[in-house]
Structure 1
């Protein structure tokens, strides 16, 4: 607890994904004042053609605090 899930279009290397995961985790470590060992982070590639059904349609509007504008 907690788990952070990042979904994005394909094209980034595993090295970049790891760096993104660590930075997102570190931000929440600071904001939640918890040790890093309690966080897990996944980074999932989602094809552009699948984005609406695999990502957008799965999000509960009440849980969406920052909405993309595209």
Structure 2
């Protein structure tokens, strides 16, 4: 029962967030071979000025063993 949490910079519309959730759902259904009913997706908005402290450090830098796709940037 995968639950996907997307952390993203503020500014996306609800329509765009639904498109993101739909695309992720299809990808996980295919790759993890789970039915639609088993999946959930949440999207958390973050101010870009807070990204480094609230997302990059705690979720990327501090958890390297959980990271399967590394970013190609470092926040300012």
TM category (shorter chain) comes to: over 0.9
CA distance, structure 1, for counterparts of residue 22 and residue 54 of structure 2: 24
Any runs of at least 4 consecutive aligned residues in structure 1 with deviations exceeding 4 A, and if so which? none
Q: Tell me the number of residue pairs that the alignment of Structure 1 and Structure 2 aligns.
A: 70
Unaligned 5+ segments in structure 1 are: none
CA distance, structure 2, for counterparts of residue 39 and residue 6 of structure 1: 13
Unaligned 5+ segments in structure 2 are: none
Q: CA deviation at 1:65?
A: 1.1
SS in 2 for 1:55: helix
RMSD: 0.9
SS in 2 for 1:7: strand
Q: CA deviation at 1:53?
A: 1.4
CA distance, structure 2, for counterparts of residue 52 and residue 39 of structure 1: 28
Q: TM-score, normalised by structure 1?
A: 0.93
Asked if residue 24 in structure 1 is aligned to residue 27 in structure 2, the reply is no
Q: CA deviation at 1:17?
A: 0.3
